[in-house]
């Protein structure tokens, strides 16, 4: 397998400038979730230039195709990259700055897409180095509910052929460029949106006896709902309930008729998640009723929690150590952000790992989802190379 690693590293160096150009083009032309039509056309154009013509569209802007090895050993491994951008105005002054004002690849999906294009180019040159089948997936709409992964699954992305395992890669600005991170078991949280409206009776603030104060009632509900996590959840299951938007639209001397609240609930257990939804709804409605008001309560169910298959992830850790050296493979902590790759992990063995992109000497330290996010572009060599190597290693594993 050392010959394969050497070949992948050589090709990663050879294709670097081309893949860098892919990334910069994508970064300059970002498109929002489920609107990635030009992005999909660009991906198809580059794949056809590589000689890949048997392409299939899914969910309008998703693209999938197969790469077959020297023999059919009955195994299929999927590789996924997300392609959408975020509604953020870029603040970076770089030659590849977003040309679509108010839209930016602030979560690194341009990197993921370029890496998978690079890995594809490598893999098509090394088909005699592996057996089995690779299913490549360029996925739309990771940043927006219901999540492109859920739509692709409904359209049969995990069938014909069904992957035994699926691999996903994501940038991580907390990890130095040149390193990657893995975590076995539960990794990222489910992510639900919580909306509720407390309807009372407005009036003059100096005469509260004539009103049913929705501001006060909302305050009781917000405080009480924290007990859902602190007293109903097992301490062994990480959970977070946070409220980030409260709209009262009253004044110093005006009690409003209603208050609207928005928040998020995140956890790592699907049974507890469903139970928490019921408990929150019952508690909020009950408090409002007891205080003379009404409460409309809605939980918009988001992505499930992401779990990395322990054995598959351990295999990938060992393979990454072979490729990069043990000192460049780090352990990840729990991450309570949401990610729709979780849908795949609920269906088949999955591994979602992190590509280090930080470089303090170059001033590249900003987090994802910020206007100044960028990457150390040298990370693209590992982005494409390790992606290809982990896939080959899995296919060739007994």
For helices 310-324 and 379-396, angle between their N-to-C axes, nearest 10 degrees = 120
Say which of 31, 142, 213, 376 is annotated catalytic. Answer: 142
Residue with tokens 């979602």: 352
Residue 181's DSSP bridge partners are: 330, 354
- Is 56 designated active site? no
Residue with tokens 């190379």: 385
Instruction: Report the phi/psi class of residue 82: left, alpha or beta, with left for phi > 0 and alpha for psi in -120 to 50.
Output: beta
Residues listed for the chain: 398
- Is 41 designated active site? no
Say which of 36, 82, 84, 340 is annotated catalytic. Answer: 84
Which value, in Å, is the radius of gyration of the alpha carbons in the chain?
24
Residue with tokens 């990794």: 187
3 state DSSP class of 113: helix
Q: Residue 215 and residue 72: Cα distance in Å, rounded?
A: 65
3 state DSSP class of 15: coil
Q: Residue 105 and residue 41: Cα distance in Å, rounded?
A: 17
Q: Residue 383 and residue 112: Cα distance in Å, rounded?
A: 8
Structure tokens belonging to residue 79: 């590789």
Q: Residue 267 and residue 296: Cα distance in Å, rounded?
A: 23
Q: Residue 74 and residue 66: Cα distance in Å, rounded?
A: 14
Question: For strand 165-176 and strand 349-358, is the pairing parallel, antiparallel, or unpaired?
Answer: parallel
Structure tokens belonging to residue 386: 């390790």
Structure tokens belonging to residue 307: 């779990």
- Segments of the chain assigned E as strands: 56-58, 62-68, 76-82, 133-139, 165-176, 180-182, 185-188, 191-199, 203-204, 239-247, 254-255, 258-267, 294-303, 306-308, 329-331, 349-358
Active site members: 84, 142
């Amino acid at each position: 397998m050392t010959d394969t690693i050497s070949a992948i590293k050589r090709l990663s160096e050879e294709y670097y400038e081309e893949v860098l150009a892919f990334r910069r083009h994508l970064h300059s032309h970002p498109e929002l979730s489920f609107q990635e039509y030009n992005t999909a056309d660009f991906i198809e154009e580059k794949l056809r230039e590589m000689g890949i013509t048997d392409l299939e569209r899914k969910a309008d802007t998703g693209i999938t195709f197969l790469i077959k090895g020297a023999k059919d050993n009955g195994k299929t491994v999927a590789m996924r990259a997300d392609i959408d951008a975020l509604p953020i105005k870029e603040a970076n002054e770089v030659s590849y700055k977003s040309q679509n004002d108010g839209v930016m690849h602030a979560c690194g999906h341009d990197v993921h897409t370029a890496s998978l294009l690079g890995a594809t180019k490598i893999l098509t040159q090394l088909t005699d180095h592996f057996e089995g089948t690779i299913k490549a997936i360029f996925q739309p709409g990771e940043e927006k509910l219901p999540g492109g992964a859920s739509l692709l699954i409904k359209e049969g992305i995990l069938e014909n052929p069904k992957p035994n395992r699926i691999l996903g890669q994501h940038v991580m600005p907390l990890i130095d460029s040149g390193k990657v991170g893995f975590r076995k078991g539960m990794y990222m949280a489910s992510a639900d949106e919580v909306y509720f409206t407390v309807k009372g009776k407005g009036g003059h603030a100096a005469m509260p006896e004539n009103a049913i104060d929705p501001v006060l009632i909302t305050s009781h509900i917000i405080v009480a709902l924290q007990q859902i996590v602190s007293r109903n959840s097992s301490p062994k299951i990480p959970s977070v309930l946070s409220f980030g938007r409260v709209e009262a639209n009253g004044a110093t001397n005006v009690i409003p008729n209603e208050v609207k609240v928005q928040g998020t609930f995140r956890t790592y257990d699907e049974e507890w998640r469903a139970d928490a939804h019921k408990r929150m709804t019952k508690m909020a409605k009950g408090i409002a009723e007891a205080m003379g008001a009404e409460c409309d309560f809605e939980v918009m169910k988001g992505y499930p929690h992401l779990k990395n298959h322990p054995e598959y992830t351990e295999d990938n850790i060992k393979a990454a150590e072979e490729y990069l050296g043990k000192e460049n493979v780090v352990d990840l902590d729990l991450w309570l952000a949401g990610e729709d790759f979780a849908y795949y992990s609920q269906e088949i063995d999955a591994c979602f790992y992190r590509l280090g992109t930080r470089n303090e000497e170059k001033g590249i330290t900003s987090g994802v989802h910020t206007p100044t996010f960028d990457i150390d572009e040298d990370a693209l060599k590992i982005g494409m190379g390790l992606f290809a190597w982990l896939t080959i290693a899995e296919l060739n594993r007994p």
